[in-house]
Structure 1
Amino acid sequence: MHRRTEPPPLTQLVADEPRPQGAQERHASLYSDLLNTVRELGLLKRRHGYYWTRIGLVLAALGGVITGFILLGDSWFQLLMAGALALVLVQVAFLSHDSAHRQIFHSAAWNDWTARLLAGGLAGMSITWWRNKHSKHHNAPNQLGKDPDIDIGVVAFTPDHVARRTGLAKWLGDRQGWLFFPLLTLEGLSLHVASLQHLLRRSATKVERIEAAIVLSRLGLYVAALLILLPIGKASAFLGLQLAVFGVFLGASFAPNHKGMPLVPKTMKLDFLRRQVLMSRNIRGGVLTDFAMGGLNYQIEHHLFPSMPRPTLKQVQPIVREYCELHGVKYTEVGLFESYEIVVDYLNNVGLRARDPFQCPLATLYRN
């Protein structure tokens, strides 16, 4: 397999290493200067027409799938409807993501409730749970002990997680890169379970209890419809395939963005521009890639401007790339399949590679 050329995880960085006086201050204004330029160009303006059109198309597609499901009746061709439903729900998830980031409307309340209704009412997931987790990720991408996306779980993303494993878990960990994408078939189920665990806890807020009612109603009606129109065998196959396809396509849009990029020690301080750019990876591609990944292929720009409307990310990309090159900040962009190769290679070797000596690029940066 092709060996990746990106910087390895920053596991040997000394977080309290002395820095020259004024180094942090010199970097602090980098982001504010870029932000001012982007704002002056009007690239943070809302794109209401784009989003109303996309929401309308997604709802029309969902209506088409439901119609097809009813008309097909008791048939194994329903599995085609299951796959189609999964793909539509991926687009719903992208829209709820944009709304949760307040990209769609000026009003925070409109954004929040749109995200809540899309995620809970159509996809059956808690946007409150997801946003709490996702906000922590945006605040500290790939930072140990702060980014929940690299917390210990079925897949080990850090050398420390690998070191804790023994026996079969260790054997599987050494091959987890190959298992990563098959495991994504369970991601849809995992999202539903995590959502319900969050919403049904005793300390849930009033809004979360309302959200719980929305999510439970959606899940209950969905399962009831399957059991009413299909025998239990076909209903189970439909549900299983829908969840698997949903998990793979949604996970495949998030996986390339940070996996295999540098890991940052918990105590290290970085200016905002470098924190977001150095830990993120863009994916090259055209209209099809933009559609399939919901704009997440412009991950660097999204992390720098989380509230920027999705269609504007492509417009701001050349500005960000040129700005990073001007200031010596590494800007990473690869092809889609190359990114998957990097993810698989990194996960298979996360423990082994971390033991190899290397020169930490961020430590070098702050010595200058």
Structure 2
Amino acid sequence: MTRTETVPRRVRYVSTYTELSQQVQAAGLLRRRYGYYWSKIVITIAVLSGIWVLFAFLGDSWFQLILAGGLGVVLTQLTFLGHDSAHRQIFTSHRWNDWTSRVLAGAFVGLSHGWWMTKHSRHHANPNKEGADPDIGPSAFAFTPAIAAKRRGLAARLTRKQGYFFPLAMFMGLALHVASVQRLLHREQLKHRWWEITFIAARFGGYLTVLLLVLPPGKAAAFFGVQMALFGLLLSGAFAPNHLGMPIVPPDMKIDFLRRQVLMSRNIRGGRLTTFAMGGLNYQIEHHLFPNMPRPNLRKAQALVREHCAKHDVRYTQTSFVSAYRVIVRYLNTVEHATIDPFRCPLTAQYRT
């Protein structure tokens, strides 16, 4: 028996992540990137201001829909910056990160930082785990076999074709706004709840007032619709490919941290444009392993992570955006048949309790 075999499996698995973490820290990949983030924040807010200046000069015109599309792109980028700050990627100070995320999300985009943090933290702790990851919980789509099995009648028939309804993801932005407001109005315990209510109320009130002052109701509605649809499509395009169609973890399964984050995540190939469009979430595996790593360092960490996964025989998934969506559509349309047999699934057999 070798020395490695005498070490308990759980200790070996913990040490594998520790080994990788030490390599990442030694490479300086967890250091803050103040120049990158300050320039990103200033430029994005300047572009946002420019759009509203052009909006005022253009006046009552259907060409405003072009600006609506531009606004959807800019708000998506601000959402990504809020996401980075919530993960403490921007500053060393927790307070600075929290308030930057709260202001960007609430005052600029209209989303609740507190609500999102609660939900997103649960996702990061247990990606694709039934009963623990809110991102695969009951919704308009059935993301797991257990949810699909409970559907009856028309809902069950639609579930078998739900992959073709995936363009409905354009409503994701609107759904996030509604969920934020609902959470804030429930009077549940939420840190700085009244600040968030003030930010979001001022943002929505100012946004709608400006639209109706410059545009007639019909064009204002069209502007809002285009902006919100593009915002939803861009966000869903950044978040959906990361975990959908990857293994679903049963509620009673325990997996070590490294494998829990790597095996359930998918990277998307592409260059700078892909990274811009997805806010760095195309490096989803690296982001899940090191959620506080600054966005521009994720690409640099990829080589270390891939080499480490190959060394420890951990499957590392990276594919194209198109291939990812093919898998997602096929999975969504066949989710009711995607049952997990603990005696046939290698993942379950290796890690079931």
TM range (shorter): over 0.9
Q: Does 1:227 align with 2:236?
A: no
Deviation at 1:204, TM superposition (A): 4.2
**Do residues 103 (structure 1) and 103 (structure 2) align?**
no
Unmatched segments (≥5 aa) in structure 2: 1-5
Per the alignment, residue 167 of structure 1 pairs with: 153
Tell me the amino acid that sits aligned with residue 164 of structure 1.
Answer: K
Structure 2 counterpart of 1:71, from 57, 66, 72? 57
Task: Determine if contact 2:68/2:223 at 8 Å carries over to the other structure.
Answer: yes
Q: CA deviation at 1:357?
A: 9.4
Q: Displacement of 1:76 after TM fit? A: 0.7
After superposition, the C-alpha distances for 1:242-290 in whole angstroms (9 at most, x for unaligned) are: 1111001111110000000001111211110000000000011111111
Structure-2 separation of matches of 1:355 and 1:366 = 13
> In 2 relative to 1, CA 173–22 (structure 1 residues): closer, same or farther, beyond 3 Å?
same
Task: After TM superposition, give the deviation of residue 221 of structure 1 in Å.
Answer: 0.6
Q: Is the 8 A contact 2:253 2:348 kept in 1?
A: no
Identity, in percent, stands at 55
Distance 2:7 2:347 in 1: 16
- Deviation for aligned residue 1:343: 0.8
**Aligned with residue 14 of structure 2, among 10, 28, 38:** 28
Secondary structure at the residue paired with 2:281?
Answer: coil
What is aligned with 2:3? none
* Length, aligned pairs only: 347
Give the superposition deviation at 1:198: 1.0
Structure 2 CA distance for aligned equivalents of residues 51 and 341 of structure 1: 34
Task: Specify the SS of the correspondent of 1:298.
Answer: helix
Q: Does 1:127 align with 2:113?
A: yes
Equivalent pair of 2:115/2:183 in contact (CA under 8 Å): yes
Partners of 1:168 and 1:128 in 2: CA distance: 36
Contact kept? 1:24, 1:271, Cα under 8 Å: yes
Gaps of 5+ in 1: 1-19
- Partner residue of 2:286? 301
Counterpart residue type for residue 27 of structure 2: L
Q: Tell me how large the CA RMSD over aligned residues is.
A: 1.6
TM-superposed CA distance for 1:345, in Å, is 1.0
Instruction: Tell me the distance in 1 between the aligned counterparts of 2:78 and 2:113.
Output: 12
SS of the residue 1:112 aligns to: helix
* Partner SS, residue 315 of structure 2: coil
* 2:118 is equivalent to residue 147 of structure 1: no
Give distance in 1, aligned partners of 2:300 and 2:29. 8
Write the deviation string for residues 93-115 of structure 1: whole angstroms up to 9, x where unpaired. 00000000000001001000100
Distance 2:50 2:333 in 1: 41
- The structure 1 residue matched to 2:172, chosen from 187, 195, 200, is 187
CA distance in 2, matches of 1:60, 1:197: 31
Tell me by how many angstroms 1:69 deviates.
Answer: 0.9
1:155–1:176: 8 Å Cα contact kept in structure 2? yes
Q: Which amino acid aligns with 1:240?
A: G
CA contact (8 A) 1:283 1:336 kept: yes
TM-score, normalisation: structure 1: 0.91
Map of 1:35-50 to 2, 5 A cutoff? 35-50=21-36
Distance 1:353 1:145 in 2: 17
Contact 1:200 1:209 in 2 (8 A): no
